[in-house]
């Protein structure tokens, strides 16, 4: 008989303080970027750079979490889960690289 799971879960995802922090940072930075794009006219590029920095950090945290989960899934012989996590982590890593690149370019352009 399988043991019951402890703690809060949303589907297969266990709700931990780290997951909540990354979710808040991801949603908050996406909302900030949308606000800057639609409402701000002065120094928009620099402000977008700051928003994309937090967005990139959130995606990097998701990618690192995926690496840890891949290791756990592979050690338990769950190959399908490990493959899905590898794809999700890879895409999150690519988004993080893109966000950090935009941040660097935005801060260089905004310096004038």
Q: What is the pLDDT at residue 7? A: 81
Is 3 inside any structural domain?
A: no
DSSP string, 63-97: HHHHHHHHHHHHHTT-HHHHHHHHHHHHHHHHHHH
- Domain membership of residue 40 as a residue range: 13-111
Is 82 inside any structural domain?
A: yes
Q: pTM higher than 0.85 for the full model?
A: yes
The pLDDT tens digits of the residues spanning 27-62 come to 999 999 999 999 988 888 999 999 999 999 999 999
Q: In the chain, how many domains are there?
A: 1
> CB under 8 Å to 59, separation ≥6 — which residues?
26, 92, 93, 95, 96, 99
Is 4 inside any structural domain?
A: no
Reported confidence tier of residue 3, pLDDT bands at 50, 70, 90: confident
Q: What is the pLDDT at residue 112? A: 64
The pLDDT tens digits of the residues spanning 55-108 come to 999 999 999 999 999 999 999 999 999 999 999 999 999 999 999 999 999 999
């Amino acid at each position: 008989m399988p043991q019951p799971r402890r703690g809060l879960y949303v589907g297969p995802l266990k709700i931990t303080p780290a997951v909540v922090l990354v979710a808040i940072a991801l949603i908050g930075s996406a909302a900030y970027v949308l606000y800057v794009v639609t409402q701000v006219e002065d120094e928009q590029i620099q402000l977008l750079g700051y928003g994309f920095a937090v967005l990139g950090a959130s995606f990097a945290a998701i990618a690192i979490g995926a690496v840890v989960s891949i290791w756990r899934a592979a050690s338990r012989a769950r190959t399908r889960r490990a493959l899905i996590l590898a794809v999700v982590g890879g895409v999150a890593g690519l988004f993080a690289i893109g966000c950090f690149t935009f941040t660097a370019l935005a801060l260089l352009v905004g310096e004038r």
